[in-house]
């Protein structure tokens, strides 16, 4: 049994990437079991064991660059991994640096260029997507053809939002209207994958893969904040060999 997903995308062979599942780790109770997040009130000893487990099972070339995520639009160079990076995306031009984001319903996006000279990982909550995290990360990439993989996030049948979220996106661009399905009582179902595709297309990115998961409904595989409240996180990682 594998405890991770390998992206199905035509990235260059030396580009390695994965998303961890919730299985195969040491955390107990609501965090069971492979939770690498140290900010969710899990037992820190278990978290550190999980991080070591991830490094071993994915044969990582170095420690993942763990971000302090704040739903911002800040993108940092992962080479500065000797300090805490407060950001919601990271990128690198160097080999063996592991860009990493943590999610449990938000959308993880992995980027690389067609020649495999640069990689990036984005934490895409709706606020970050609305405010420009995708555009900011794409701007750090080479000005050549880009490939993007959309990792496990809340699915379009489960992501209920209010009128405020709908209005914020539609006011940004009428393109986003099609990503929302009206429900009763000023509620909408939002398709975070479609929102991301629109943003990427507008940023000039056409080669987009993944986007078929649902963290809420796939209980055995994924942590979900929307479903469980206090819970663990999946790690989505990318690096160049």
Within-domain flag for 145: yes
Task: Please tell me the predicted confidence (pLDDT) of residue 181.
Answer: 98
Task: Please tell me the predicted confidence (pLDDT) of residue 81.
Answer: 67
Within-domain flag for 148: yes
Q: Give me the domain span that covers residue 149.
A: 12-155+205-240
Within-domain flag for 141: yes
| Per-residue CA distances from 165 to 133, 155, 188 (Å) | 16, 16, 9
For the stretch 34-45, pLDDT in tens is 999 999 999 999
**Percent share of the chain, pLDDT over 90:** 98
Q: Mean per-residue pLDDT for 120-135?
A: 98
Distance separating alpha carbons of residues 107 and 147, to the nearest angstrom: 16
Within-domain flag for 66: yes
Task: Please tell me the predicted confidence (pLDDT) of residue 1.
Answer: 82
- 211: nearest Cα among 188, 193, 236, 226: 193
Phi, psi (degrees; rounded to nearest 5) at 143? -85, 55
Within-domain flag for 20: yes
| Residue 93 clears pLDDT 80, i.e. is over it | yes
Task: Output the DSSP codes for 16-36.
Answer: EEEEE-S-SS---GGG-S---
* Domains: count for the chain: 1
| Per-residue CA distances from 156 to 54, 76, 98, 129 (Å) | 29, 30, 29, 16
Judge if pTM exceeds 0.85: yes
| Residue 219 clears pLDDT 90, i.e. is over it | yes
Within-domain flag for 65: yes
199 band by pLDDT with thresholds 50, 70 and 90 = very high
Task: Please tell me the predicted confidence (pLDDT) of residue 104.
Answer: 98
Q: What share of the chain is helix, strand, coil (3-state, %, to 5)?
A: 25, 25, 45
- What CATH number is given to the structural domain containing 140? 3.60.140.10
Q: Are 83 and 202 in contact (CB under 8 A)?
A: no
Within-domain flag for 2: no
Q: Are 107 and 151 in contact (CB under 8 A)?
A: yes
Within-domain flag for 28: yes
């Amino acid at each position: 049994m594998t405890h991770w997903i390998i992206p199905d995308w035509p990235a260059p062979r030396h580009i390695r990437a994965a998303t961890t599942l919730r299985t195969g780790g040491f955390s107990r109770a609501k965090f069971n079991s492979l939770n690498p997040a140290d900010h969710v009130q899990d037992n820190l000893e278990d978290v550190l064991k999980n991080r070591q487990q991830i490094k071993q099972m994915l044969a990582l070339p170095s420690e993942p660059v763990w971000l302090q995520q704040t739903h911002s639009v800040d993108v940092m160079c992962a080479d500065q991994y000797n300090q805490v990076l407060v950001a919601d995306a990271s990128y690198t031009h160097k080999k063996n640096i592991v860009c990493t984001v943590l999610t449990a319903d938000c959308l993880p996006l992995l980027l690389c260029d067609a020649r495999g000279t640069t990689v990036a990982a984005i934490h895409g909550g709706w606020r970050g997507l609305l405010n420009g995290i995708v555009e900011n990360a794409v701007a750090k990439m080479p000005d050549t053809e880009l490939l993007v993989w959309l990792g496990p996030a809340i699915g379009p049948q489960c992501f209920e939002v209010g009128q405020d979220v709908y209005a914020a996106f539609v006011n940004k661009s009428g393109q986003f209207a099609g990503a929302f399905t009206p429900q009763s009582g000023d509620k909408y179902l939002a398709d975070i994958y479609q929102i991301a595709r629109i943003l990427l297309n507008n940023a000039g990115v056409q080669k987009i893969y993944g986007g078929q998961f649902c963290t809420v409904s796939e209980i055995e595989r994924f942590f979900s904040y929307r479903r469980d409240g206090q819970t663990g996180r999946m790690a989505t990682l990318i690096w160049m060999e």
